[in-house]
Amino acid sequence: MSEPRVTELGMLSIGLVAAGVIDLAAYLPRRAPLLAPSLLLAAAAAVLAANLVQVARRPGFAWRRFVQVAGWTLVAYLVIAGMLEYTFLYDRTRGGVLAVMTGLLAVFTLNVPLLVGYTVARYERA
Amino acid sequence: MAVVQEVAPARPAERPGFEIVPRRGLPAVAAVVVALVVSIAGNWPWALDFFHVVGGGMWTALDLFMGFVVGPVMRRLSVPARVELTTRLMPKMLLIMPTLVTMTLASGFQLARANGMLSGSYGRHGWVVASMVVVAVMAMVALALLQPANVAVLFELRRPQPDPAIVQALMRRFVYAAGVTGMMQVATLVIMTRLAT
């Protein structure tokens, strides 16, 4: 069975998040149209979900190591995400823009632990 | 009289013990993050400038140094020397790089917002967007390739019997990814000096 393309899909998902953030930031301080970033958010979340399914269906995967590494990475990135969310709130980002920004941030924050945890766990052997 | 010399049996080279994340460095990281949050909350121009210039300068210099100096040097080292360098350098990089990136981007975004550089009416708005695209490419490479390879190689090297093929594959990935981010940093230098001129 060939190796799942977790890294490539992770890069794609992070790229879609980045495109959404750039699109929103390009309109600041005016209110940005939300259609394009919302579509980018949906696409990024779909790619992340597909990636998670790929990992979950991998036979003989080292789940213990994955949970250990991804868990600690998630803790670190939650600190960074918390700081970014604080910056959005501090800058008085509200309503739909805040919701889309938070969604993009959440997808980004989940992608990193998945990528680090998967890369470590795929080389794990008994 | 014949001299009999005892020869010690050959032992495998010992690898120094190491922590994947050096816990002693965490208080320094926490101090930087707290100072950064305080600077943003206080909206202090000097502090924001300090974090952006110092963080950005160190991030760029380290990326260029890793991509164009350490990477090629590492490729030519013997395997034991490469292992020793990796186990001493990479855990520190796991703390240093995310801290510098957070410092630079959070303060830079606040400065750009405060100075009106994010606005479409800003004369060099195109350069600002270009800098965001460069950062996006660097984030994709660093978060999907570089950092996972860094952590995975450290886990492999902590094993009693690391697999040289796995270490080599991960280090190759690390070195090429560092080269790409190094090139992106050259683009960052061009964009930032254009914006500052």
Q: What is the mean predicted confidence (pLDDT) over B80-85? A: 87
Q: Is B107 on the interface with A (CB under 8 A)?
A: no
pLDDT of residue B120 exceeding 90: no
Give B127's contacts in chain A (Cβ within 8 Å): none
| pLDDT at residue B14 in the model | 56
Question: Which two tokens mark B40?
Answer: 């943003």
Q: Is B43 helix (H, G, I), strand (E, B) or coil?
A: coil
Predicted pLDDT at B8: 45
Average pLDDT over residues A16-45: 89
Nearest CA in chain B to A70: B148
Burial of A71 (0-12, 13-18, 19+ CB in 10 A): exposed
Helix (H) or strand (E) holding B94: helix B79-114
Closest CA to B14 of B80, B70, B78: B80
Given this model, what pLDDT does residue B15 score? 62
Cβ contact, residue pair A26, B106, below 8 Å: no
Share of residues in chain B with pLDDT > 70 (%): 92
Closest CA to A119 of B155, B152, B93: B152
Q: ipTM value of the model?
A: 0.86
Q: Give CA–CA dist B182/B146, Å, rounded.
A: 12
Structure-block tokens of residue A90: 């501090």
Higher pLDDT, B35 or B160: B35
Interface probe, candidates A123, A124, A125, chain B, greatest B C-beta count within 10 A? A123
Measure A34 CA to nearest chain B CA, in Å.
17
Where is pLDDT greater, at A68 or B16?
A68
- pLDDT tens digits for range B6-43: 444 444 455 667 888 899 999 999 999 999 999 988 98
Contact A83 B120 (CB under 8 A): no
Domain definitions of chain A by residue range:
6-122
CB proximity A82 to B under 8 Å: no
**pLDDT for residue B16:** 64
Q: Which of residues 93-112 of A touch B (CB under 8 A)?
A: 111-112
Given a contact cutoff of 8 angstroms between Cβ atoms, the answer to whether B96 and B62 are in contact is yes
- Sequence-separated (6 or more) residues with CB below 8 Å from residue A1: A59
Q: What is the mean pLDDT of chain A?
A: 90
Any B CB within 8 A of A26 CB? yes
